[in-house]
Structure 1
Amino acid sequence: MSPQQKALVLPRKQGNFELSSRSIPSPGAGELLVKIQSAALNPFDYKIRNTDYVPHYPVVLGMDIAGIVEELGEGVHNFRRGDRVLAHGKFTNDFTAFQQYALTVASFTAKIPASESFDSAATVPLGLDTAVVGLYGDQLGASITPPWEEGAGDHESKKPIVILGGSSSVGAYTIQLARLSGFYPIITTASPSNEELVKGYGATHFFDRNLSGKQLLAAISEVTDDPIKLVYDAISLPETQSVAWELLADNGTLVLTLPASVKEDEGKGRRVVTTLSYPHTPENEELCSSSWARVEEWLSDGTIKPNKYEVLPNGLEGIIGGLERMKLGQVSGTKLVAHPQQTQ
């Protein structure tokens, strides 16, 4: 195997992506080296260019990894060379997705069942982890008892949940976990063209995303008399947060994926929490290790369905145009996936 690989690199803040070459890393204890077959794109990957989040440049981005195990680090016993795997990347260049080889952490890596392709598997990691932490995280989520924990029972059974942006990657996984937790009704918003898509994920009631907060509240009141104690805003723009805040009952929780523009001190004991999809942070390690131990089974038995996806042409170079389309709002209900090994 060549010691060098191709990678898509962002050389500087507000710079332009460039195709470059970098060394293929070696796995340490608890790590795997994966030959990446499919890498999925996320909004974070274009938004980060204009932030101060990146401590060092050049940087390789991408969090959604699917590929083949090439090497095992010390202490990794539940994988073998040649296994097809998916993994949630880590914000360190050797562990990111927009390159041909990456390291993964065994705790946040799972085997891909025969029923799924590399492409479908690549749509899972970041979206699913954002849904898991947002619903079940103690510090960075709504602190609901995970359905796989003993004693979870029917805690959420017959309680309503509203998920804004149900056709987004995070929204789709949140709908599926809400179903697993026993929420009912599972109410979501999306574009009318995505109604069947979100119902396929498990939403019981669909409303047009263009409804105002008052219109949506009126529509929901015809579905359930119960107070809405949990709203998951998978979009989290100021306008969707405003709608979510109108829906949320006293002492309820609003889960966001971006910083809050609504104020908790606007009353009624309502809590706002901005979740963090990153499984590698200490607050999330235990929860995400537990969920990742179930990912292969969930995919195999259909408990979790991956996102719809579109494959981009031209390997890593195709990511550049894909991110621009996402930035311009030209992608809906679909995850974009690149094939790093096809890079010319």
Structure 2
Amino acid sequence: MWLVINKGTMPKALIFPKKRGNFKVGSRSISSPGTGQLLVKIRSAALNPVDYKIRDTGISVTHCPVISGVDIAGIVQELGEGVENFRKGNKVLAHGNFSIIDQGAFQRLEGVNYITGYIASQIPSNQSFDSAATVPLGEQSGSRDTPSLSEKPIVILGGSSSVGSYTIQLARLSGFYPVVTTASPNNEDLVMGYGATHFFDRHLSGNQLAAAISKVTDSPIRIVFDTISLPETQSEDEGKGRKAVSTIGSPHLPHNHELFRSSWAMVEKWLSKGIIQPNNHEILPNGLEGIIGGLERMRMGQVSGTKLVAHPQETQ
């Protein structure tokens, strides 16, 4: 995906000008769409932990300034040469790419996106821009990490997170059973609604959780998917037949193209039929400026079971 604008315009964008620099609203001027790409006006952009982590750590930052944000929903404005599956006026959701300049989601209404076929899908009529914007990163990360193991158990740490919620739903679709997850007690109904078969308090120690799971299934647990990935959610990865594997659910990586081309083709159907439920969401005020406070709330652990969504076009 390429985030661009019409030539000669200067849209607002939320940027950090250097590694570990402060976020600020500025202006960007870029070029027009190319072959196989779409020009899309952004209407809703959702926030993810990665949006502040890349700023805080400098990881994956190969250029500056950076426009971050990966969850996008908007309207097709223009078609590049060779585009066959989209039309002007289509409402689409898409996966941005902060690792390449001008491909992030946090731009104003004039901001637009170049989208290739394996990172975009039409938004069905039963979904809003806001609900659709909660889908791309979480659903794609979940699809990357839930291979089909019918009737095999899976444990998902952090089921109320965005990635966790979509992993639960995709695990259910893939035939895993039981689907065991952890979350805060106040999010038990939420994760069970997504399709988890068993819930446990995330505050249980590793030994306590293992003992609780042993009462649920006699089958060996072959997959534990950690959607939080903080030190307190990690366990030993050596010996006893255990192996920790880091996965990146990005459709922009060449080796993921075919996988995501297939999964993106199903997103519209899944949403339309209610097979996949978007995240609960909260609308942030003040457009791009509101994203700064939203990211700080996420950093402080003040967001739970909800996706924060901004409207770039409301930037003053």
| Shorter-chain TM-score tier | over 0.9
1:212 aligns with 2:219: no
Contact 1:176 1:304 in 2 (8 A): yes
Match in the other structure for 2:185: 192
Q: Residue type matched to 1:106 in 2?
A: G
> Does residue 43 of structure 2 align to residue 37 of structure 1?
yes
Aligned equivalent of 1:108: 119
User: 1: distance between equivalents of 2:202 and 2:121?
Assistant: 34
In structure 2, distance between residues paired with 1:113 and 1:21: 32
Q: Tell me the secondary structure at the aligned position of residue 163 of structure 2.
A: helix
Equivalent residue in structure 1 for 2:221, among 228, 234, 244? 228
Structure 2 equivalent of residue 84 of structure 1: 91
Counterpart of 1:138 in structure 2 is none
Letter in structure 1 aligned against 2:264:
W
* Structure 2 residue matching 1:68: 3-state secondary structure: strand
Q: For the Cα contact (< 8 Å) 1:95–1:104, is it kept in 2?
A: no
Aligned length, in residue pairs: 305
* CA deviation map 1:92-139 (0-9, x unaligned): 23321000223222321100000100000000101111111122xxxx
| Preserved contact between residue 163 and residue 232 of structure 1 (Cα < 8 Å) | yes
Q: Which residue is 2:286 aligned to? A: 314
Aligned 8 A contact 2:118 2:251 in 1: no
- Aligned residues of 1:61 and 1:93 also touching (Cα < 8 A): no
Deviation at 1:31, TM superposition (A): 1.0
CA distance in 1 between counterparts of 2:221 and 2:118 reads 35
1:24 Cα shift? Answer: 4.9
User: Could you tell me how far apart the structure 2 residues matched to 1:163 and 1:40 are?
Assistant: 23
Q: Distance in 2 between matches of 1:67 and 1:213?
A: 42
2-side partners of 1:234 and 1:241: how far apart?
11
Q: Secondary structure at the match of 1:7?
A: strand
Q: Which amino acid aligns with 1:87?
A: A
What SS is found at the alignment partner of 2:28? strand
Distance in structure 1 (CA, Å) of the matches to 2:249 and 2:219: 29
**Residues 187-228 of structure 1: per-residue CA shift (max 9 Å, x gap):** 100000000000010001101000011111111111111111
Q: Would you say the 8 A contact 1:29–1:76 is kept in 2? A: yes
Amino acid at match of 2:73: A
Q: Secondary structure at the match of 2:115?
A: strand
Gaps of 5+ in 2: 1-5
RMSD: 1.3
Residue of structure 2 equivalent to 1:253: none
Deviation for aligned residue 1:339: 0.2
Query: 8 Å contact 2:63–2:101 — kept in the other structure?
Result: no
CA distance in 2, matches of 1:322, 1:183: 34
- Pick from 105, 113, 119 the counterpart of residue 97 of structure 1: 105
Letter in 2 for 1:329: G
Question: Does the residue aligned with 2:261 lie in a helix, a strand or coil?
Answer: helix
Percentage of identical aligned residues: 67
Per-residue deviation, 1:12: 1.2
Report what 1:246 is aligned to. none
Q: TM-score, structure 2 length as denominator?
A: 0.93
**Following superposition of structure 1 onto structure 2, how do residues 1-344 of structure 1 map, counting pairs within 5 Å?**
3-52=9-58, 53-90=60-97, 91-100=99-108, 101=111, 102-135=113-146, 144-145=147-148, 156-242=149-235, 262-263=236-237, 266-344=238-316
TM-score (ref. length: structure 1): 0.86
Post-superposition Cα deviations, 1:8-39, rounded to whole Å, max 9, x if no partner, equal: 11111221111111125311111111100000
Tell whether the 8 Å contact from 1:39 to 1:62 is kept in structure 2 after alignment.
yes
Change (3 A) 1:25 1:123: farther
- Asked if 2 retains the 8 angstrom alpha-carbon contact of 1:10 and 1:59, the reply is yes
Supply the AA of the counterpart residue of 1:69. V
Contact 2:117-2:261 within 8 A present in 1 as well: no
**Structure 2: distance between partners of 1:325 and 1:93:** 26
State the distance in 2 between where 1:239 and 1:329 align.
14
Give 3-state SS (helix, strand or coil) of 2:308's partner.
strand
**Residue aligned with 2:290, SS:** helix
